[in-house]
Amino acid sequence: MKSMLFEINKKRWLTLFLVALSATIFRLILQAFIPSSGSNPFPPSAIVKAGLLIPSFTIYALITYFLLAVVFVIIQGRLPGTKIKKGLMFGFLFCMMWCIYLFEPLPHVSSTSLTELFAYPIVDEYHLYF
């Protein structure tokens, strides 16, 4: 039995890339609305010092969302329901897992502001529905 991954044609690869690109752009737009706390106890990394934070984040996001789209293509045949229902179920379940991860307390974050507590999970939840 051949894997679904090897049966994907060029048009589908392009579609998967466009899905990843649109999710990345959507997240970058939403990320701009999150207020910055301005407090970071860590020194700037080499990536930040070189001014490569946004390009490196964009590459990371493209790879992540592309791989999520590939995983969905591979497993969608085993999910019940219509294509829309399958996509929403996959997106919702992954959003919940991602949000639980983001609610993990970070040792360097001392703020308990509700905006800071919920801003990242909310932004990350909406772009995963793509």
User: Tell me: the pLDDT tens digits for 18-41?
Assistant: 999 998 998 888 888 777 666 666
Q: Which helix (H) or strand (E) holds 10?
A: helix 10-31
The answer to whether the CB of 35 falls within 8 A of the CB of 115 is: yes
If one compares 104 and 118, the residue with the highest pLDDT of the two is: 104
Distance CA 130, CA 21 (A): 10
Q: What per-residue confidence (pLDDT) applies to 86?
A: 92
H or E segment at 33?
none
Residues 40-57 have pLDDT tens digits of 667 888 888 898 988 998
Q: Tell me the per-residue pLDDT of 60-113, one tens digit each, with 9 for 90 and over.
A: 999 999 999 999 988 888 989 998 899 889 988 888 887 777 767 665 555 556
Please tell me the total number of residues recorded for the chain in this structure. 130
What pLDDT is recorded for position 105?
A: 64
What values do phi and psi take at 72, rounded to 5? Answer: -60, -45
Q: What is the pLDDT of residue 101?
A: 75
What pLDDT does 62 receive? 94
- Binning pLDDT at 50, 70 and 90, where does residue 1 land? very low
Check residue 103 and report its DSSP letter: T
Q: What is the pLDDT of residue 17?
A: 93
